[in-house]
Amino acid sequence: MSVIIDRRLNGKNKSGPNRQRFLRRVRANIKKTIDDVINNSDIQDIGKGDTEITVNRKDLSEPTFSHNSKTGRRTGINPGNKEFQSGDKVPKPQGGQGEGGSKGSNDPEVTEDDFTFLLSQDEFLDFLFDDLELPHLIEKNLKSATEFVTKRAGYSTSGNPANLNVIKSFEKSIGRRLAMKSPLKRKLIKLEVLLLNEEDEEEIERLEQEVEEMKRKIKAVPFIDDFDLKFNAHRKEPVPATSAVMFRILDVSGSMGEEEKILAKKFFVLLYLFLTKCYDNVDVVNIRHHTIAKEVDEEEFFGSRESGGTIVSGSLEKMVEIATERYSGAEWNIYATQCSDGDNWESDNQLVMELLEKKILPMCQYFAYIETMHGKDSFFSSDGESDLWKVYKDISDPTFAMQQVQESKDIYPVFRKLFAKK
């Protein structure tokens, strides 16, 4: 009558969908907290660990019709009378209901107003990059696919013993046995009926022999045979792979102050998180430049203390060089993000313009320019615009975008603007 079942291996995370709905409901709060987090945390801490989100309980209320506790008369029974007599008047504690000074609260640490919960790292990144994508990402065509995925494709009558489908094979075997045995069994029954009614000795013997023969034939039907066997069939399907490469170009010249460098770095870290979270294989190429441009690895990109003058064209030339060398061909989606304070060597501007228009933009899916101006107008030119800004603002190519970032709190909104889903 009693049954004991072990459910521990069953569906974990049954509350998953409910948590999802809950998170959706409080998205506004989550987004606000995210903005604060980006603003205030160090570069390397972004996107690590759990984030605490606070929501006002009013937004999560589940209202019902209820009594106003400040009105009316109530009677109650309490346990533990020590010295009260009937008719005693006991003053009420300050601000509390008069039921004898009970604390009432089950969790004194959490205030009435706020509901806090933890967002896991993954959930945090999901919200961070919600509704963002790399623009104009073209899916690679199938012909030159290098990746295949193996998929099930029904059953076949031949194959590898490891792929033997036992159940289907037995189904076939049952079918075959039924088909082969039924006529024999029918005959057997007929014979046995005749045998019952037969009187003649000779006939009886003959019939008994035939019955034996029938039984032998029935037994001879094999239980399982070669053509019963069924194997699971598989098929290789090509996967349209998308390949993308992101060029990160950072200006480390003398005109880029510490704050500007930090802004740029924060932006690049965000970019990197975005790429690794949302896309499977994106190559990242880092180019630092002052007067000379150099391809570097992650550590040097963020860490190196070199400085100098500014020749922007060098970095663009480097990019073209690397792109034609390593990322040529129709398979690659090329993206670039350039961070600079906009200052450039006077005579270089023309070259920059040419490189961009003639070489870079044609091969790029998207080029984003971020100008970091830490709380000041560019003092390099009298009309408030930097060199690069003047050059870039005339470009009307849809694959080009430019934005300014003045403070930490601008980074995330600008990021969202640049990579918003169309």
Partner 1 sequence: MSNKLLPQGSDWTFENLEIYQNVVTELATDWLGLDLYPNQVEVITAEQMLDCYSSHGLPSMYNHWSFGKSFIENHRGYKSGQQNLAYEIVINSSPSISFLMESNGLPMQVLVMAHVNGHNAFFKNNYLFQEHTDAEGIIDYLIYAKDYIADCSERYGDDRVEQLLDACHALENNSVDQYPRPPKKTARERAAVAEESRLFKETNRNDLFDVTAAKDQTEHLDNSTRFPPEPEDNFLYFFEKYSPVLEEWEREIVRICRKKAQYFYPQRLTQVSNEGFATGTHYRILNKMVDEGMIDDTFMLEMLHSHSGVIAQPDYDSDYYNGRMNPYALGFAIQRDIERMCKEPTKEDEKYFPNLVGQNWKEETKKAAFNFKDESFISQYLSPKVIRDFKMFGVNDSTADDFVIIDDIHDEEGYQGVVDKLSTTYNLSQVLPQLSILDTNIRGDRTLTIQHKMVNDIFLDPKEMPAMLSHVKRLWGFDVEIVGMNDDGIVLEHIASKNIKGL
357: left (phi over 0), alpha (psi -120 to 50) or beta: alpha
CB of 92 or CB of 216, closer to partner 1:
92
SS3 115: strand
Of 98 and 309, CB closest to partner 1: 98
- The three-class DSSP label of residue 237 is strand
User: Per-residue x/- marks for partner 1, 57-86, CB under 8 A?
Assistant: ---xxxxxxxxxxxxxxxxxxxxxxx-xxx
347 binds partner 1 (CB under 8 A): no
Q: Show the site string, 9-48: x = touches partner 1 by CB under 8 A, - = not.
A: -x-xxxx-xxxxxxxxx-----------------------
Decide whether 22 or 223 has the Cβ nearer to partner 1: 22
131 binds partner 1 (CB under 8 A): no
Beta strands in 229-297 (DSSP E): 231-238, 243-251, 282-289, 293-296
- Which member of 29, 39, 41, 97 binds partner 1 (CB under 8 A)? 97
Paired with 366 in beta bridges are 335
Structure tokens at 376: 């000041």
Beta bridge partners of 367: 336, 400
Residue 95 touches partner 1, criterion: CB under 8 A: no
CB of residue 65 vs partner 1: minimum separation in angstroms? 5
Instruction: End-to-end CA distance of the chain: give it in Å, rounded.
Output: 61
Output Rg (C-alpha) for the chain, integer angstroms.
39
Q: Which is nearer to partner 1, 77 or 220 (CB)?
A: 77
Name the minimum Å distance from CB 31 to partner 1. Answer: 17
Select from 31, 41, 46, 117 the one that contacts partner 1 (CB under 8 A).
117
Distance between CA atoms of 103 and 69, rounded to whole angstroms? 16
Closest CA to 344 of 377, 318, 311, 321: 311
DSSP 93: P
Q: Does 158 bind partner 1 (CB under 8 A)?
A: no
Q: Which CB, 19 or 417, lies closer to partner 1? A: 19
> Residue 74 CB, nearest distance to partner 1 (Å)?
5
Q: Is residue 49 a contact residue for partner 1 (CB under 8 A)? A: no
**Mutual orientation of helices 258-278 and 121-128 as an angle, nearest 10°?**
100
Considering the complex, what minimum distance in angstroms separates the CB of residue 126 from partner 1?
16
Burial class, 180, CB count within 10 angstroms (exposed 0-12 / middle 13-18 / buried 19+): middle
Q: Please state the closest distance from residue 340 (CB atom) to partner 1, in A.
A: 44
Residues engaged in binding partner 1 (CB under 8 A): 1-8, 10, 12-15, 17-25, 60-82, 84-92, 97-104, 106-107, 115, 117
